[in-house]
Every structure is written in C-alpha cells, then in structure tokens.
C-alpha cells in the first residue's frame, strides 16, 4: 500500500494518487480535465451567488452610459 494520498478524479471518480508525477491532478487524465473545462465553459458548473462584474463589464451592460 502506498503512503501517498489518493483522491477521486472529479470527472470519472477513478481513484488516483496525488503525486507530482501526475501532471493532470486532480484529474486522472487529459480527457477528464477537458471534460471539466467544457462544463465550466458551458456553465454546467457554476459558483452560487450573484454575478460580479468589474467596471468595464458593468459599463458595457448599462444602456444609460454612452461611449466616447
């Protein structure tokens, strides 16, 4: 038995060792990493709460502001 910690891949739940050699950690492979990225990009994964916009984005969304 290894003394290295084991975690479940967030995508497929396969157990993987948390080691510096595992360049995809916390994922088991590149495929699972890209699946997760796609979920964030398509808003399948979200962080709960109200959206927060920086000044540039808020200005772009405010129809009362005029651009120069």
The reply to whether 32 sits in an annotated binding site is yes
Q: What is the pLDDT of residue 57?
A: 54
Taking only the tens place, the pLDDT of each residue in 52-66 is 766 565 555 666 666
Confidence of residue 67 (pLDDT cuts 50, 70, 90): low
Taking only the tens place, the pLDDT of each residue in 42-53 is 888 888 888 776
16 forms bridges with which residues in the sheet? 7
The reply to whether 29 sits in an annotated binding site is no
Q: What is the pLDDT of residue 43?
A: 85
Q: Count the domains in the chain.
A: 1
Cβ partners under 8 Å of residue 29, min gap 6: 9
DSSP 14: -
Is residue 29 assigned to a domain? yes
40: helix, coil or strand? helix
The reply to whether 28 sits in an annotated binding site is yes
Is residue 68 assigned to a domain? no
Is residue 66 assigned to a domain? no
The reply to whether 9 sits in an annotated binding site is yes
Domain around 35:
6-61
Residues 24 and 35 sit within 8 Å (Cβ to Cβ)? no
Domain CATH for 18: 3.30.50.10
Is residue 67 assigned to a domain? no
pLDDT cut 90: percent of the chain above it: 49
């Amino acid at each position: 038995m290894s003394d290295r910690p084991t975690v479940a891949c967030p995508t497929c739940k396969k157990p993987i060792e948390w080691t510096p050699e595992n360049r995809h950690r916390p994922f088991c492979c590149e495929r699972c990493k890209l699946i997760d990225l796609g979920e964030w990009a398509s808003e399948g994964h979200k962080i709960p709460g109200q959206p927060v916009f920086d000044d540039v984005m808020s200005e772009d969304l405010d129809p009362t502001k005029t651009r120069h």
